[in-house]
A and B are shown apart, each in its own frame.
Chain A
């Protein structure tokens, strides 16, 4: 058995006494009572001694209680302040009447009739008064005094430490009491005295106190991982304002001005406005008649006022199109992972704000086939080896596609949308090559990867969850590629 020196010393001093209190043992070991209890607990764990815990309660008078012990309880003082009877109105003038009258009645010392207080003659000292004179009597009287706040109790825990037979046997076999060293001192290390020291051996069975590192949020870690995948794939990161004009958020993406997604029902509008940028006429013409492309446009009317309304961006595509407008020459490979805002009622899977990932590739000769290739590669690196594609509809892409990934236990899970930007979207900005684009609800991926049932936990986090979630988990095996 690997006993520390302190444990051995305690056994040694305990052996002749068999049973003792910590103070006695502490004096003999030249240490504190607390330390003795601590060593004894360790020995108890090994079955070498027993720690008997005893809780003693002592009682003492409060200041108020002490005064009454001298002068009598308020009801006794009040009772003695008048003869056989007294009008209530008069008695209430006595300074102790507020406590006293009720108590006198309760104890049956007086009766009250027609506004007169009359003694019943039944006024022998009760349990309370006896207890007040001698607290050690205890009983119901003491309980009442505690309730009335005239007495307080103190609980004292005391310990008795007793040697067990096993302990005794061990001591009789002899204990090596050579001093052991815990923490090495600088002196011991540099002078070389450590060579002669007996170093304490620590128990591996005792788990350490849990400590936690400062941590990145698990969701942020997942976002960072996606960001890295796209950076490794050669994409440039874009970033931009939360507040966008409806022009960049909708019109530039060829969403007709009467499209349901543009209604107040689905989008957060602000009362502010932002002017349409130079070149807005080309977007307007695209809506009206398809501009210079083979498109018919939406026809009808196009309102500049509607385009200048401000919204909280409903997708990061508003940033993608601005990036393309600023960089119309190929190649462009860009991505964005950031918050978007939709006017959704809050429930476990819907929130009014959430992260969206978006990637775009614009280059000479890129095609739908390449779009499917980028989707496959991206999802593979995110840990989804099986990807399949289905036709889909999005207002600003043509052709459009919905990728699905295979998740063991769940089957095929829809994972975002993709397509080639419509010519109506790209032509106004002098972009002459196809733009492959895909978007993904990051929180959906987070639910899968972090095993969440309620998205709100991401934003209104239980910090215990953040603390306990490991920084590294399986599922990143594909990050390095095939």
Chain B
């Protein structure tokens, strides 16, 4: 998330209001205040509003929101006479470049901090860690136009920032800290992008530049223009950029009123939008002509504009009320089956536990003496060795729970119900374990029998070859020839593996076998 530091003195100067007023209203424009300090405040802005990642941008928005200066901010762009050429060899690498000349800038400590913060935040939010956009700011007095953007040979050498020795571009990717951090972005290209000036001095070795760059250039230029700088355009491949021109959109005041639930005529809507620094005026009928400032990267759809109107209106001023929509509440049958299972097992004296669905092969297979089912689903990049597979059974997780509670009093009677995954399909299971001095096959059979009777499940039994249970003390529940459950006395070797010292009777039932189970499983 982008956390921006706003120094009060600079902020107050740019907004033209006091810090109390600004801080009180700041959250209501869409931000989270992280920390309030003596001389500054740290504020988190949302990733869709990179234009608020600088003190200048925040001040511009707050002047509108507080009603001090509304409407579209206008930025004048004059020609600079400076040009950039783009090497056609970059077409397959990184063909896009944006540039602007900024003059008459007076940088004091606070505005430099703000500019650096903005560059950093833009790299994160718009540039996605420089994989989409990389931004460089250079002192025009120290370089000589025109500039060239080249596809340079990988062996080309120059002296990188913070280094005294010349390095080749390949060496930079291997040894320079910045180079290493972003090497993955360009590594695979046969030639590397490079910006040089008229005297062949290297300005930068940009990892990447493409589509989002216009946003980035506009945001930086307009933020600096807010401090009084003059913006000049640069010729790149015949086009003069940036223009800093707004985009026009015609929106409907009726649509805005319907969406927000507030009566807004075109004039009222225009006034709200002006507070959010749009240019807006009634355009006949219910239409409003909206001029979207060039730094607003988030306006994709008319509703994005209506949200700004809602913010200007103030969320606290909406008359919140539920709609008259009539509908009858209806539980999902799977949840009803879970509810019945819960009632039955609580009645039998079991306590519910809610283990994780992510588990591992040790829990599901090796400790259980069972082979891992072919249908077990493995996640590609697990967060830890404990969470590599989605559970296929519940009994192993209940035994893990018993292990966690080894030091607790016996008897322990636990049950769990929930989703398991077979292949890509989500199924529902219930399982229970009982551990105490006398836990045995008869107890497991009695619970399995009760569970099935309560679920109106006509079942038959046969002995399965499930090695998690003791031979001669295990049973499989069959319904219509399909095995839908197991029960029995857990094998002592499995108990040893779980470090359990008392016998455990266990039952597991597939709830997809229950009459009335909705088909096909998993349909929302």
Contacts and interface: CB of A to CB of B under 8 A. Distances in A.
Interface in A445-481: 458-464, 466-467
Interface residues of A, number: 99
Contact of A268 (B29, B300, B355, B379): B379
Interface in A60-84: none
A352 B330 CA distance: 30
Given A236-B327, A240-B522, A420 B259 contact: yes
B384 interface: yes
A395 to B, nearest CB: 8
Contact of A295 (B300, B347, B408): B300
Contacts of B383: 343-346, 352
Contacts of A348: none
Nearest to B418: A339
A383 interface: no
Given A214-B351, A312-B390, A234 B408 contact: no
Contacts of B24: none
Contact of B346 (A215, A351, A370): A215
Contacts of B258: 365, 367
Interface stretch (B101-109, B307-315, B363-371): B307-315
B335 A363 contact: no
Contact of B352 (A217, A242, A300): A217
B14 interface: no
Nearest to A434: B259
A217 B318 contact: no
Contacts of A333: 325, 327, 329
Given A268-B381, A463-B401, A370 B323 contact: yes
A374 B322 contact: yes
Given A270-B378, A326-B524, A242 B46 contact: no
B315 A300 contact: no
A368 B330 contact: no
A5 interface: no
Nearest to A402: B32
A251 to B, nearest CB: 16
A217 B351 CA distance: 7
A330 B323 CA distance: 13
B404 to A, nearest CB: 6
A42 interface: no
B356 to A, nearest CB: 5
Interface stretch (B68-76, B232-240, B265-273, B419-427): B419-427
Interface residues of B, number: 86
A305 interface: no
Given A270-B380, A322-B524, A391-B29, A366 B323 contact: yes
Contact of A363 (B261, B323, B387): B323
A269 B354 CA distance: 24
Contacts, number: 260
Contacts of A312: 379, 390
Contact of B331 (A231, A298, A369): A231
Interface in B299-348: 300-304, 306-307, 310-311, 315-316, 318-323, 325-332, 334-335, 342, 345-348
Chain A facing B: main interface SS: mixed
A237 B380 contact: no
A456 B328 CA distance: 36
Contact of A243 (B261, B315, B346, B421): B421
Interface in A161-213: 212-213
A28 B408 CA distance: 42
A240 B348 CA distance: 29
Contacts of B30: 390-393
B412 interface: yes
B166 interface: no
Contact of B128 (A220, A260, A366): A260
Contacts of B350: 214
A272 interface: yes
A214 B413 contact: yes
A214 B259 contact: no
A438 interface: no
B322 A370 contact: yes
B467 interface: no
Contact of A343 (B262, B352, B381): B381
A213, A231, A241: residue with the most chain B Cβ atoms closer than 10 Å: A241
A463 B357 contact: no
Contact of B524 (A240, A260, A459): A240
B465 interface: no
A326 to B, nearest CB: 7
Contacts of A331: 325-327
A230 B335 CA distance: 14
Contact of A422 (B301, B319, B332): B301
A353 B356 contact: yes
Contacts of B355: 459-460
A152 B27 CA distance: 79
A352 B318 CA distance: 37
Contacts of B353: 217, 461, 463, 466
A268 B380 contact: yes
A76 to B, nearest CB: 43
Contacts of A467: 351
A461 B524 contact: no
B358 interface: yes
A388 B426 CA distance: 38
A352 B358 CA distance: 8
B414 interface: yes
B426 A241 contact: yes
B379 A216 contact: no
B349 interface: yes
A461 B326 CA distance: 40
A237 B378 contact: no
B260 interface: yes
Given A240-B522, A461-B354, A310 B335 contact: no
Contact of B425 (A241, A310, A369, A392): A241
A370 B195 CA distance: 54
B28 A391 contact: yes
A332 to B, nearest CB: 8
B320 A420 contact: no
Nearest to A459: B356
B335 A227 contact: yes
B319 A369 contact: yes
Nearest to A316: B524
Given A296-B300, A398-B304, A237 B322 contact: no
A31 interface: no
A91 interface: no
A159 interface: no
Given A243-B421, A269-B381, A296 B301 contact: yes
A434 B259 CA distance: 7
A243 B303 contact: no
B211 interface: yes
A59 interface: no
A353 B382 CA distance: 12
16 contacts: A213-B349, A227-B335, A241-B426, A242-B426, A243-B421, A268-B381, A268-B382, A319-B524, A343-B381, A344-B383, A366-B323, A369-B321, A373-B323, A391-B310, A401-B315, A420-B303
Given A422-B303, A459-B355, 8 more contacts: A236-B332, A242-B357, A270-B378, A346-B384, A367-B262, A393-B47, A393-B49, A398-B307
Interface of A: 212-217, 219-220, 227, 230-243, 258, 260, 264, 268-272, 274, 290, 293-300, 310, 312, 319, 322-323, 326, 330-333, 339, 341, 343-346, 351-353, 361, 363, 365-370, 372-377, 388-393, 398-401, 420, 422-424, 434, 436, 458-464, 466-467
Q: 8 closest pairs, A vs B, by CB? A: A367-B261, A369-B261, A393-B46, A391-B30, A372-B320, A399-B307, A240-B524, A214-B346
Interface of B: 27-30, 46-49, 128, 132, 211, 249, 251, 258-262, 300-304, 306-307, 310-311, 315-316, 318-323, 325-332, 334-335, 342, 345-358, 377-384, 387, 390, 401, 404-405, 408-409, 412-414, 419, 421, 424-426, 522-524
